[in-house]
């Protein structure tokens, strides 16, 4: 080869190298940073870039947060011809602690078909001119691209995003903000179909998403705010809460039933929850939401029913309204779900302060639809696994938090896992002084017996109680569980001395710990009734074989502890911690019977026992004259088979009668 040729090749190589370096260093056409929050606490960020080159748009996103010590990373690459013509989407990582995403979507050139590669599984879906590529609520930059697609397509009534639900977008209230000394107007929208129910987001005049208020794949409060708008987080949360209340009112307009001034439930078998034997062919009279008479059906009953709305209970069974003692009422759609499943009272065990107080007040005032909400105010300490924005790290802060919750009508304080052990007795003393009780997790560095000695009235989750009896270490063989040795005897005696109440949530652990060889639907049939967006998040695949044996063994240990707590006469209240909305409370009761409860005792764990623990047994918990008319009409005898609590025919809440099917359908469930 001649020297001149070498020189030409050398120049060409240099030119190509310069071009490559220039391409790598080329600035993005758009880039941005979102601050990610859970329960209003910053937990991570998302950085995205958009490049436009050779007639193609490429978005890359690096979305990552840390939730209670667990990293949740998600990397996304999205390609499109332009805002209106998607081509492909690839997501790799997690959208929540327990939600893996390894998906690749491709939309063919004719826009007739979407191909989805999910692991080894290949699926194909029909597409149309309004098909977009989306894989749930995350990353935030993809929600921005969704909004731009919607606007570029002329704001269609619906967008298809297989395999998920149709997405619908509607304008809501705008928000005026002061950003860096300048008045700025951002435009609000409600989006449905990405997460169960609706979420709220805001766009600026340049088509950039500035804030998102939604739920993550664990159905927990989640917020994302563009970095330059971070100071306005509180304003976005408050406005989203107001928009949720408007949604609550709309749900109420569709499904709410006015309380009958005078209601008679006739020819029913009454199981009043007191432990008394069922009363056959009874009539329960209600006036202005209060039970006024309970009579055996008589020949002259038609005369006495004049002026009453009559609900014929022939062949049916009437029980007290059910309680879910471990709720996280994080969106208004929970209201219809609870009532449809026979739940008339819930204890909220951790929420965003402004959201839960606003929703509770709206329901109390008759605006919307849902059960009675009792608040257990969440407080945590600052640490690597902190949950939520309400924290206390000094005695003064601890006292102030308790007083703040008392002022808004919370009945309990819930202590979370990162609370400093030395602050636990400070919180419990102030709560008790103010007439409140205390429940919660067992903080790091403490044991279940220690928190009871420090003033806890109740413990959440059977896992914490089980760990009090045995030293469970991650990835280590489980030590033997002996519930009859001297240590266990001392702990049971302590719980009895302090009248400790246990909120076990064992149905949740059953979901988390079932082997992946067992379909979840065979354990909890309610999972087949979920809307697709919720089913994707909650239909757990189960524990893989490598961990299944240990998981099964530990579940049996927790079950044994539950059984022994009951055998020893300690108080247990039914709660779900979300799990499968509306359905898992019934599963709790089924597990109780498996653990040795009589069906009556299982019912009481969701009726009279929680009412007594919450200091409301004079007005709720049993079907007795003078109490509120919270009741459930069942199409089956729960004392013969506890699974019959699932057969809800009507829910009566404060004298208002609800039919389940319209309630389920109003929030996207299949009855």
All structural domains of the chain = 29-255 (no CATH), 317-666 (3.20.20.140)
Mean pLDDT, to the nearest integer, of 373-390?
96
Peptide bond into 99 cis (omega under 30): no
Q: What does DSSP assign to residue 481?
A: P
Segment 95-132, tens digit of pLDDT? 999 888 999 999 987 889 999 999 788 999 999 999 99
Cβ(379)–Cβ(415) below 8 Å: yes
**Cis peptide upstream of residue 526 (ω within 30 degrees of 0):** no
CA dist 607 and 101 (Å) reads 40
Cβ(427)–Cβ(415) under 8 Å? yes
* Nearest of 388, 387, 397, 383 to residue 430 by alpha carbon: 397
Give the model's pLDDT for residue 21. Answer: 35
Q: Give, for 21, the enclosing helix (H) or strand (E).
A: helix 3-25
Q: What is the CB-side half-sphere exposure of residue 612 using CA atoms within 13 A?
A: 15
d(CA 327, CA 343): 11
Answer whether residue 658 shows pLDDT above 70.
yes
pLDDT at 402 over 60: yes
Query: What is the rounded distance in angstroms from the CA atom of residue 282 to the CA atom of residue 37?
Result: 53
Please report the pLDDT score of residue 98 as a whole number.
Answer: 85
pLDDT of residue 507: 97
User: What is the number of alpha carbons within 13 Å of residue 449 lying toward its C-beta?
Assistant: 14
Asked which of 18-22, 524-528, 531-535 is least confident by mean pLDDT, the reply is 18-22
Q: Of how many residues is the chain composed?
A: 671
> To the nearest 5 percent, what fractions of the chain are helix, strand and coil?
35, 30, 35
pLDDT of residue 151: 97
**pLDDT tier, 299 (very low <50, low <70, confident <90, very high otherwise):** low
- Indicate the pLDDT class of residue 302, thresholds 50, 70 and 90: low
Residue at token pair 């987001």: 201
Residue 330: which of 202, 412, 195, 215 has the closest Cα? 215
Residue of higher predicted confidence among 2 and 437: 437
Mean pLDDT of 417-426: 98
Residue 295, strand partner residues:
283
Structure confidence at residue 148 (pLDDT): 98
Q: Do residues 63 and 101 lie in contact, with contact meaning Cβ atoms separated by under 8 Å?
A: no
**If we measure between CA atoms, which residue out of 342, 474, 354 comes closest to residue 404?**
354
Residue 669's contacts (CB-CB under 8 Å, 6 or more residues apart) are 337, 340, 529, 530, 531, 582
Distance CA 554, CA 492 (A): 20
Most confident of 94-98, 161-165, 300-304, 591-595: 591-595
Angle between helices 462-469 and 545-567 (to 10 degrees): 90
Is residue 86 within 8 A of residue 128, CB to CB? The reply is: no
- For the chain, the farthest-separated pair of C-alpha atoms sits apart, in whole angstroms, at 120
* Average pLDDT of the residues in 497-513: 97
Per-residue burial over 245-265, b if 16 or more Cβ lie within 10 Å, else e, is bbbbeebbeebbbebbebbbb
Say if residues 243 and 173 touch (Cβ distance below 8 Å).
yes
Lowest mean pLDDT among 94-103, 190-199, 244-253, 266-275: 244-253
Which pTM does this prediction carry? 0.91
The SS3 assignment for 30 reads strand
Peptide bond preceding 650: is omega within 30 degrees of 0, i.e. cis? no
- For residue 475, the model assigns a pLDDT of 80
DSSP 232-301: GHHHHHHHHHHHHHHHHHHHHHHH--PPPSEEEEEEEEE--SSSPPPEEEEEEEEETTEEEEEEE--TTH
Percent of the chain with pLDDT over 70: 95
Q: Is 318 in contact with 268 (CB distance < 8 Å)?
A: yes
Given phi > 0 = left and psi -120 to 50 = alpha, else beta, which region is 185? beta
Rg (CA), the chain: 28
Q: What is the pLDDT of residue 298?
A: 59
Bridging pattern class, strands 309-312 and 372-379: unpaired
Q: Do 72 and 64 contact (CB within 8 A), yes or no?
A: yes
Q: How many CB atoms lie within 10 A of CB 12?
A: 10
Cα 331-374-594 angle, rounded to 5 deg:
90
Return the closest-CA partner of residue 77 out of 131, 135, 161, 148: 135
Taking the C-alpha atoms of residue 607 and residue 319, their distance in angstroms, rounded to an integer, is 9
pLDDT at 308: 93
Q: Is the dihedral of CA 307, 308, 309, 315 positive or negative?
A: negative
Neighbours of 28 (CB within 10 A): 14
Confidence of residue 297 (pLDDT cuts 50, 70, 90): low
The SS3 call for residue 511 is: helix
Task: Report, as an integer, the average pLDDT of 458-471.
Answer: 96
Distance set, CA 645 to CA 55, 272, 319, 509 (Å): 59, 14, 9, 21
């Amino acid at each position: 080869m001649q020297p001149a040729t070498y020189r030409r090749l050398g120049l060409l190589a240099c030119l190509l190298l310069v071009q490559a370096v220039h391409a790598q260093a080329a600035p993005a056409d758009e880039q941005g940073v979102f601050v990610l929050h859970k329960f209003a606490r910053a937990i991570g960020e998302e950085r995205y870039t958009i490049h436009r080159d050779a007639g193609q748009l490429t978005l890359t996103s690096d979305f990552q947060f840390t939730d209670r010590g667990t990293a949740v990373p998600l990397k996304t690459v999205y390609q499109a011809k332009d805002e209106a013509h998607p081509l492909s989407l690839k997501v790799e990582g997690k959208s929540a602690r327990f939600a893996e995403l390894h998906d690749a979507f491709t939309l063919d050139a004719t826009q007739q078909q979407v191909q989805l590669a999910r692991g080894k599984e290949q699926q194909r879906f029909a597409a149309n001119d309004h098909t977009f590529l989306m894989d749930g609520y995350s990353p935030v930059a993809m929600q921005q691209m969704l909004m731009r697609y919607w606007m570029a397509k002329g704001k269609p009534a619906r967008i298809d995003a297989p395999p998920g639900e149709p997405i619908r977008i509607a304008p809501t209230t705008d928000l005026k903000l002061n950003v860096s000394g300048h008045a700025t107007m951002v435009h609000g929208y409600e989006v449905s179909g990405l997460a169960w129910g609706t979420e709220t987001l805001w766009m600026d005049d340049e088509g950039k998403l500035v804030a998102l208020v939604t739920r993550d794949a664990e159905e927990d409060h989640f917020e994302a705010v563009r970095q330059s708008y971070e100071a306005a987080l509180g304003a976005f949360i408050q406005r989203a809460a107001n928009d949720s209340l408007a949604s609550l009112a709309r749900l109420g307009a569709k499904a709410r039933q006015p309380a009958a001034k005078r209601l008679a439930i006739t020819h029913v078998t009454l199981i009043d929850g007191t432990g008394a034997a069922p009363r056959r062919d009874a009539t329960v009279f209600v006036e202005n939401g209060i039970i006024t008479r309970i009579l055996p059906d008589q020949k002259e009953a038609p005369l006495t029913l004049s002026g009453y709305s009559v609900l014929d209970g022939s062949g049916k069974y009437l029980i007290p309204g059910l309680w879910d003692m471990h709720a996280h009422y994080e969106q208004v759609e929970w209201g219809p779900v609870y009532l449809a499943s026979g739940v008339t009272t819930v204890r909220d065990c951790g929420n965003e302060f402004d959201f839960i107080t606003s929703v509770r007040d709206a329901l109390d005032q008759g605006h919307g639809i849902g059960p009675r909400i009792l608040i257990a105010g969440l407080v945590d300490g600052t640490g690597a696994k902190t949950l939520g924005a309400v924290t206390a790290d000094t005695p003064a802060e601890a006292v102030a938090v308790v007083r703040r919750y008392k002022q808004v009508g919370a009945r309990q304080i819930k202590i979370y896992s990162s609370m400093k052990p030395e602050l636990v007795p400070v919180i419990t003393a102030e709560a008790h002084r103010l007439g409140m009780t205390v429940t919660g997790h067992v903080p790091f560095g403490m044991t279940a017996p220690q928190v009871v000695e420090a003033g806890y009235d109740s413990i959440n989750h059977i896992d914490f109680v089980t760990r009090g009896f045995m030293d469970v270490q991650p990835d280590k063989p489980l030590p033997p569980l002996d519930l009859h040795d001297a240590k266990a005897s001392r702990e049971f005696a302590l719980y009895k001395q302090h009248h400790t109440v246990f909120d076990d949530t064992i149905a949740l652990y059953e979901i988390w710990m079932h082997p992946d060889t067992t379909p979840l639907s065979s354990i909890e049939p309610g999972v087949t009734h979920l809307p697709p967006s919720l089913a994707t998040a909650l239909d757990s695949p189960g524990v893989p074989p490598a961990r299944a044996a240990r998981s099964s063994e530990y579940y049996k240990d927790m079950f044994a502890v539950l059984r022994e707590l009951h055998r020893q006469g300690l108080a247990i209240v039914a709660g779900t911690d979300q799990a499968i909305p509306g359905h898992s409370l019934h599963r709790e009761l089924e597990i109780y019977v498996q653990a040795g409860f009589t069906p009556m005792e299982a019912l009481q764990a969701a009726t009279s026992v929680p009412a007594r623990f919450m200091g409301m047994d004079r007005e709720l918990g049993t079907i007795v004259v003078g109490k509120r008319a919270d009741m459930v009409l069942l199409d089956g005898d729960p004392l013969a088979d506890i699974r019959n609590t699932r057969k809800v025919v009507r829910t009566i809440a404060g004298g208002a009668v609800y039919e389940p099917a319209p309630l389920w359908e109003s929030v996207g469930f299949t009855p």
